[in-house]
Amino acid sequence: MQRVASLAISTSAIFLIVVAIMLNSPALFYMATAVIVLLGACRWQANLSVRALHFDRVAPESVRVGEMVTVEIVVWSERAIKRPLVTIRDNFPTKMPVAHLSPSLPIAPAFELPIRTQYQFRPLKRGKYRWTGLTVAGTDALGLITATRTYETTPAEVTVLPAAIPVSVDLPTSLGWGISEAESGQSRGAGIEPRGIREYAQGDSLRHVHWRSTARTGVLLVKEFEAGSHAAAAIVIQRTKSTDLGAGPTSSQDLMCGHATFLAEQFHRQGVTVVFPGLEDPRRIAHTFERSEEIAHLLAPLRDDQDATLGEDLLANLDTLPPGSAVFPMLSVADPSLIGAVSRANALGFTVVPLLYDAAQFELKRAADSAVDPGYIGRLRAAGGSPMVMPLGVAG
């Protein structure tokens, strides 16, 4: 509406002055001058409103994909003048897709006094994002003319952590502690020491709800148990160049990270140590409550920027894995070198369960390279792996 009004009044001004000159009509000269001066005054006000300001941004260091984030910006005026309201637009990096981006709170900056504005958004893709600068938009008191000005600010850095994407996977029973057992309650039966109480998460059995605490707090809480084993799981995600398929927040690597986060949480609840060889040193992993957060931070900056193939990556880290680990390579593009790595891992006593994604679902032209090619699956099996085709979920 503001644009339409501004356009209508500007057009009227031009019309009035042109016709005034054509007809030499004094009345039209008065009217045209009034409208032109009005627009000039609006322009002046708008320009004045965005000058001599400085800013300080307060943004959270890390957030989860899909979480509502509030960013606060503190504004000072360097001149002792009153101004019309201004709004602020942050210079987000173009690579950071966001949803539900709210407009900023309009504010009137004050001289030497901090005035806070804020806006909200939901990040859609994991990663580490850094940006600097913002754009201030100032409108005159009538809302007819908007002036903008870009200011440099101290850089802001936000890590967008992957959100866990629930997935139902039937792990081979040979693992001895798989999710299937967790769901059936075998690993959480009597005689296993409880570890504590935590909030209910998708996948938890209702049998383990701690009703007394739930009634007291109003939040659904479940009991957590030690698995009573020293089992370990190693998740290796394909990071070879050009293997992150698909665009935006639903790429193959984002889906893998979301699934890996979910599986890691599930394993962790069962007392299984989860490691990410290649991203951290598996020998220094502590089984702590902050482990889920650590994993999210590991996965957040993950990119397909490695020269090494998944197989090479796995081979390079086999000697650092805890003995008897179950290894979960996650890949969408068939990697021939993985066959040899699976054979080698088997030989060393590791159980390898390749989690395969269909490349064609992300990029049709990569269908020929898809990891779910039956021939490739057959070769993985022949090498001693237990490949599983992952169902597709939607990241975020």
Interface with other proteins (CB under 8 A): 1-2, 5, 8-9, 12, 15-16, 19-35, 37-38, 41, 45, 70, 77, 80, 82-85, 87, 102-113, 115-120, 139, 141-144
Decide whether 80 or 368 has the Cβ nearer to other proteins: 80
3-state secondary structure of 168: coil
What is the token pair recorded at 10? 């500007």
Closest CB 203 distance from other proteins, rounded Å: 31
Distance of alpha carbon 128 from alpha carbon 160, whole angstroms: 6
> Please, how many CA atoms are within 13 Å of residue 204, restricted to the half-sphere of its CB?
20
Decide whether 88 or 352 has the Cβ nearer to other proteins: 88
DSSP letter at 161 equals E
Decide whether 109 or 282 has the Cβ nearer to other proteins: 109
Closest CB 39 distance from other proteins, rounded Å: 10
Decide whether 60 or 103 has the Cβ nearer to other proteins: 103
DSSP letter at 125 equals S
Q: For residue 388, what are the β-bridge partners?
A: 355
Decide whether 29 or 200 has the Cβ nearer to other proteins: 29
Distance of alpha carbon 11 from alpha carbon 8, whole angstroms: 5
Closest CB 69 distance from other proteins, rounded Å: 10
Query: Which residues are CB-neighbours of 28 under 8 A, at least 6 positions away?
Result: 16, 17, 19, 20
Query: Which residues are CB-neighbours of 125 under 8 A, at least 6 positions away?
Result: 65, 95, 96, 97, 160, 248, 249, 254, 396
Closest CB 311 distance from other proteins, rounded Å: 48
Closest CB 105 distance from other proteins, rounded Å: 4
Contact 386, 172 (CB under 8 A): yes
Distance of alpha carbon 75 from alpha carbon 72, whole angstroms: 10
- Specify whether the backbone of 158 is left (phi greater than 0), alpha (psi in -120 to 50) or beta: beta
Decide whether 44 or 289 has the Cβ nearer to other proteins: 44
Closest CB 72 distance from other proteins, rounded Å: 10
Closest CB 115 distance from other proteins, rounded Å: 6
Closest CB 62 distance from other proteins, rounded Å: 19
Closest CB 87 distance from other proteins, rounded Å: 7
3-state secondary structure of 305: coil
What is the bridge-based pairing of β-strands 156-161 and 127-131?
A: antiparallel
Q: Which of 144, 138, 137, 141 is nearest to 36 (CA)?
A: 144
Distance of alpha carbon 315 from alpha carbon 342, whole angstroms: 9
Decide whether 26 or 191 has the Cβ nearer to other proteins: 26
Decide whether 61 or 112 has the Cβ nearer to other proteins: 112
Decide whether 110 or 348 has the Cβ nearer to other proteins: 110
Closest CB 73 distance from other proteins, rounded Å: 11
Query: Which residues are CB-neighbours of 364 under 8 A, at least 6 positions away?
Result: none
* CA quadruple 181, 187, 188, 191: dihedral, nearest 10: 150
For the chain, report the end-to-end CA distance as a whole number of angstroms. Answer: 34
Q: Which of 247, 316, 335, 260 is nearest to 292 (CA)?
A: 260
Decide whether 81 or 316 has the Cβ nearer to other proteins: 81
